[in-house]
Amino acid sequence: MKYELCKISEIPSEGTKLVDFFGREVHVYKTNGRPRAVANTCMHFGGPLDYQDGKFVCQWHNAEFGCEHGERLAGPAPSSAKLMFLSTRVEDDALFYVWGE
């Protein structure tokens, strides 16, 4: 299965773009020039995430997660918690979710 998330040109050079993903939201952004897609869900209690100062911060309880690997940096989320990244591929100037990669 392959599903287009957005065009590469729509991904901001700083910050993120929220896109719909089958009724849920996904942050699409670039880290080290590489497009990434991460679920807009905190691993503590499922709250939405904001992108602030190069990291994701939960709107509900302020848990913080790194953008490159999704690791928990601070807050009430368990120390082993990591954000959920989508498997993606760039094709024809677009970022696609790809199942099974």
In CATH, what number is assigned to the domain containing residue 66?
2.102.10.10
Q: Fill in the amino acid letter for 35.
A: P
What pTM value is reported for the model? 0.93
Q: What is the pLDDT of residues 25-80, one digit of tens each?
A: 999 999 999 999 999 999 998 999 999 999 999 999 999 999 999 999 999 999 99
Q: Per the structure block, which two tokens stand in for 67?
A: 């953008």
- Domain extent for 79: 2-98
User: Measured between alpha carbons, how far is 15 from 86 in angstroms, rounded to an integer?
Assistant: 18
Q: What phi and psi values does residue 16 have, to the nearest 5 degrees?
A: -135, 165
**Domains contained in the chain, number:** 1
Cα separation values, 25 from 18, 32, 74, 90, 99, Å? 6, 22, 23, 19, 17
- Token look-up 């498997």 returns 87
